[in-house]
A and B are shown apart, each in its own frame.
Chain A
Amino acid sequence: MASETQAHPPAADHGHDAHEHGHFGPEMWVIPEAPGLVAEVNEKQNAPSGIFRMVLLAGAALTILGIVGFVLKAITAGFSDHRAWGFYVAAFAFVFTLTASAPLAACAFRFTKSHWRRPLSRIAEIFSLVSIVNILLFIPALIALPDIGVATESGELMVRRSIWFQELVNPSGWLLAGMIGLSFCSVAILWLAALPDMAQSRHLVSGFRASLYGRLAGGWYGTKRQWQVQKGGLAILGALYFMMVVFVQFLVVSDFAMAMIPGWKDSILPPFYTVISFQGGLATILLVAYAMRRWGGYRDLIGQAPFWAASKVLLGLTLLHTYHLFAFFITYWYGRLEVEQAILNYLMFDSYIGIFWAQLFFTFFIPFPILVSNHARREGWGAPLAAIFIVIGLLLWHIRIFAAAFAAAPAVEGGLYYLPSDAFSFPALLLPVPGATFPDLWDIFMILGGVGIVLLVFRIGMMLLPPLSLWEMKEGSMYQRVDTLIRGRYLVLAKPE
Chain B
Amino acid sequence: MIMVPLVNHHRENNKRHLSERKNSRALQICLGIESTAHTFGVSVVSHKEGKKLGSILSDVKNVYKAPPGSGIHPREASHHHAQVATEVLQQALQVARINIKEVNAIAYSEGPGLGPCLRVGAVVARALSSRYQKPLIPVHHGVAHIELGAMLTGLSDPVVLLVSGGHTMINAHSGGRWRIFGETLDLTIGQLVDQFGREAGHSSPCGQRIERLAQDSHEYISLPYSVKGNDVSFSGLLTAAKNLLHDGRSLSDLCYSMQETAFDMLAEVTERALAFTEKQEVLLVGGVAANNRLKEILSQMCLARKAKFASVPIGYSGDCGAQIAWTGLVGALSGASVPIERSKVHPSWRLDRVNIPWRN
Do A and B share a complex? no
Partner-A contacts on B (CB < 8 A)? none
Binding site for B on A (CB under 8 A): none
